[in-house]
Amino acid sequence: EVEVAIKVVVVGNGAVGKSSMIQRYCKGIFTRDYKKTIGVDFLERQIEVAGEDVRLMLWDTAGQEEFDAITKAYYRGAQACVLVFSTVDRESFESLELWKKKVEDEVGEIIMVIVQNKIDLIDDALVQTSEAEELAKKLRLRFYPASVKDNLNVEEVFRYLAGKYLER
């Protein structure tokens, strides 16, 4: 049996919840003061999609995003990408297109999805979901409002990417 393995890079400004998302999806936990580095390049999880076993390798950036210093090795061979911003961080939303370009400069056009994280903080929102939907439409990308904290839509994001990958 041939196993399908997908390298997924999770990008976006610092503190939007990327490490938390990876941790939540692969280990099933959420902590408020999650350490900056996880000490490994990626965490993985295996799921079944359309009768196929898919191994998702989720690459974390260990905080380098703040110094614009993510190495080429991080992007190399990526087949899918999660573009993450935070509901309560306007700048993280405005940086999304830059992140998309960065990824595409390294690996070309790959499967991407936009995630608006921290939707549980909607009462303090600095970005409206409608704006994000508009951007996603413009970029022709699937959009998910999510809360890693409340475990809302995290599974769905990665299931979508895996399904899309199998469709190729």
Helix (H, G, I), strand (E, B) or coil at 127: coil
Closer by beta carbon to ligand GDP, 32 or else 140: 32
Output the smallest distance, CB 60 to ligand GDP, in A.
7
Strand pairing class (4-11; 80-86): parallel
Applying CB under 6 A, among 43, 47, 121, 141 the residue interacting with ligand GDP is 121
Q: Tell me the angle at which helices 129-139 and 96-107 cross, rounded to the nearest 10 degrees.
A: 30
User: Do the Cβ atoms of 67 and 104 come closer than 8 Å?
Assistant: no
Q: Is-contact 7 57, C-beta < 8 A? A: yes
Chain centroid offset of residue 153 CA: 12
Binding partner of residue 148 among Mg ion, ligand GDP, none, CB cut-off 5 to 8 Å per kind: ligand GDP
- Smallest distance, ligand GDP to C-beta of residue 45, A: 17
Q: Which amino acid is present at 52?
A: E
**Does 19 help bind Mg ion (rule: CB under 5 A)?**
yes
Among 117, 136, 157, 162, binds ligand GDP (CB under 6 A): 117
In sequence order, the β-bridge partners of residue 147 are 152
Closest distance to ligand GDP from the beta carbon of 34 (Å): 5
32 contact, one of ligand GDP, Mg ion, none, CB 5-8 Å limit per kind: ligand GDP
Q: Smallest gap, in angstroms, from Cβ of residue 53 to ligand GDP?
A: 28
Stretch that binds ligand GDP, among 38-46, 47-55, 101-109, 114-122 (CB under 6 A): 114-122
Query: Do 144 and 156 touch, CB atoms closer than 8 A?
Result: yes
Q: Give the footprint of Mg ion on this chain (CB under 5 A).
A: 19
